[in-house]
Structure 1
Amino acid sequence: MASGRRRALVVRGGCAGNRPVQTTNLFLPFLRENGFEILVEDSLEVYEDEDLLHGTDLILQCWARGDITRGESAGLLAAVRAGTGFAGWHRGVVDAFPEDPDYQLMTGGTFAGNPAGPVPLRAHLRAEHADHPVIAGLGDFAVDGDACWTLTDPLNDVLATVTFDPDDTRQRAVAVPAVWTRTWGKGRVFVSTVGRVPADFADPRVRTLTRRGLLWASR
């Protein structure tokens, strides 16, 4: 790796409906422009490469509904604890490995469903974090109907929520965390549950906060 450059590891695969290749491709030019050398992997086995992860500054993951081995999970978590940044969006992060509670503890949340159906929703930015570098200067924005209902860690810094209206099951409206940051050991973690397919990132606010999140999470 060239001196002075950072390394980004893009790990993508799993459920094709999350468009792992197409969506991550949207952000590769941005990462290169910001001084990253990029390695793309379509296998989780890379998480067992301790030397490679040690020299990685950012892991961008888009891998929905996958199975991760104990060794792969341990390698990923160890790298983040040691300072490697971790970032991603939608089910490519929060619904990646539903059988691995250690992974969920690291990311700070897990997918619990899409209760709203195909209806327009809005992401509301949290005023108490208005100066956070990920959302500073941005405003509320529309979210597609595939917004995620998540179960989240109280240690997250929640930057944006999505409000779900009452329905036949839930008796009142509730704001569910949609964008958050956190630390795990020495590593930074950025998660956004908005933006699933390439068209969702056409909204400049969604695209901007995602780009900022990648840079914020990087070592």
Structure 2
Amino acid sequence: MMRRTLKACAALAASFFAASIFTVSAMAGPAPATMAGTAVLDCPLRDAPFSADSPLIDLLLSPEAKAIVSRDMGAALDRAPPRFMGTQTPSFAAILTLRKAAGFFGMPADAVDRADGELRKLAVTDADRKARCARYDDDRLEIPAARKSAEGKSAARAPRLLIFEKINGFKDTPGVEAAHALFVDLARENGWSVTSTEKGGAIRAETLRNFDAVIWNNVSGDVLTLTQRKALQAYLENGGGFLAVHGSAGDPAYFWDWYADTLIGARFAGHPMSPQFQDAKVRLETPSSPLAKGLPAEWTMNDEWYSFTTNPRKAGATVLATLDENTYAPKGVGGQDLRMGDHPIAWSKCLGKGRMFYSAIGHRPETYSTAEYRTMVKNALAWVSQRKACVAGE
């Protein structure tokens, strides 16, 4: 599978936009408040040398680094759309590197290499560290005592879900809100407890122990500190559940390899642009799985169809559904070939004792109201929130 071209990456980004998002908690009144922000001491890449592979936002935040890029790139940088150059998150600059952006900005390879060499000579100052860490937080999620879990886990207790919505990269507000509404509706219909947050500080052991599963709602951009990353990984490996949809695996650049390669198990290659949204046939691959309960053998949907550079099967995933590439045009900008052949679109896997489910479906808000997708997500939430060790292939 070919890697996504830089030009295609940039063209896809041209259709993106950022906006604010709300936070709610179902079945328990308003969402819990968070504590005042505290200093973040261990954000990823805090001390990393500047380079052409740094998050573009970090180069733009440093006057010295930005001056090098501006000098070596010349007018090419001026041609970048404003959405590429934002230094306040959410920003596409948080999920892009200078090297990946080179094709779109019209930067010759030698200019990028020259800038890379100069950037690596820059000293990383305390001001740089502060700027890099500003988009992370360590704000605790306060949970009322009445809602905290008991030490013993009762099999009869309703699942407790945490919707996580901190987004530093691309925020597609309509899709995020539609997904959020679906999660809340399903919780109400099934008697599940659900809480939501936009704070990375919620991803800590003492908070996660109060939830059976975490939902990554179209989370784009690097959002967790090193400590929070370890907490999420430990939570999943010890039996926690994880469900992610669409944009949670749609970034051009990732700065946490475990998330992309192990947790999700695939990296984004691109999606069609002409047209961006197309009808395609989804085929159920594992009809005997509890994840398939109530789903037809195949159905047609209209959505934005992701392709990936690697197949999640290679990372140990059990594929629930695939795309029939003969039913839509898997071509990106400039005719980019997005065919995968075997094209998983929703899959699950075990991570230690924990359960993970990802669906690449879900850009269009309308998608979240279709009967098939509601059923798929309901099944997935019930599956990931089970309080028993995951068994591969189940």
TM-score category of the 2 structures, normalised to the smaller one: 0.7 to 0.9
Distance 2:159 2:234 in 1: 19
Q: Tell whether the 8 Å contact from 2:304 to 2:364 is kept in structure 1 after alignment.
A: no
Q: Which residue of 1 aligns with 2:215?
A: 60
Distance 1:40 1:189 in 2: 19
Partner-residue secondary structure (3-state), 2:228: helix
Q: Percent identity?
A: 23
For residue 213 of structure 1, report the CA deviation from its aligned partner: 0.6
For residue 161 of structure 1, report the CA deviation from its aligned partner: 0.8
Once the two structures are superposed, residues 90-122 of structure 1 have per-residue CA deviations (whole angstroms, 9 ceiling, x without a partner) of 11x213682211112112223221136333211
Map of 1:96-115 to 2, 5 A cutoff? 98-104=254-260, 105-115=262-272
Q: Which residue of 2 aligns with 1:156?
A: 317
TM value normalised by structure 2: 0.50
Q: Tell whether the 8 Å contact from 1:13 to 1:21 is kept in structure 2 after alignment.
A: no
CA separation of 1:29/1:169 partners in 2, compared to 1, >3 Å: closer, same or farther? closer
Distance 2:198 2:351 in 1: 24
Distance 1:137 1:21 in 2: 25
CA RMSD of aligned residues (A): 2.4
Distance 1:13 1:211 in 2: 22
Partner-residue secondary structure (3-state), 1:109: coil
Partner-residue secondary structure (3-state), 2:322: strand
For residue 173 of structure 1, report the CA deviation from its aligned partner: 7.0
For residue 171 of structure 1, report the CA deviation from its aligned partner: 9.5
Map of 1:1-219 to 2, 5 A cutoff? 1=147, 4-14=157-167, 15-17=170-172, 19-47=175-203, 49-68=204-223, 69-91=225-247, 93-95=248-250, 98-104=254-260, 105-115=262-272, 117-126=276-285, 129-139=286-296, 140-150=298-308, 151-153=310-312, 154=314, 155-164=316-325, 165=329, 167=331, 168-170=335-337, 174-219=341-386
For residue 23 of structure 1, report the CA deviation from its aligned partner: 1.4
Once the two structures are superposed, residues 72-107 of structure 1 have per-residue CA deviations (whole angstroms, 9 ceiling, x without a partner) of 22211111111110002111x213682211112112
Amino acid at match of 1:149: S
Distance 2:181 2:239 in 1: 24
Unpaired runs of at least 5, structure 1 = none
Whose Rg is larger?
A: 2
Partner-residue secondary structure (3-state), 1:189: strand
Q: Tell whether the 8 Å contact from 2:303 to 2:361 is kept in structure 1 after alignment.
A: no
Q: Which structure has the highest strand share of the two? A: 1
Once the two structures are superposed, residues 114-139 of structure 1 have per-residue CA deviations (whole angstroms, 9 ceiling, x without a partner) of 1363332111111xx11111113422
TM value normalised by structure 1: 0.86
Unpaired runs of at least 5, structure 2 = 1-146, 151-156, 387-394
Amino acid at match of 1:159: L
Distance 1:141 1:100 in 2: 34
Amino acid at match of 2:216: Q
Count residues with an aligned counterpart: 215
Partner-residue secondary structure (3-state), 2:185: helix
Q: Which structure has the highest helix share of the two? A: 2
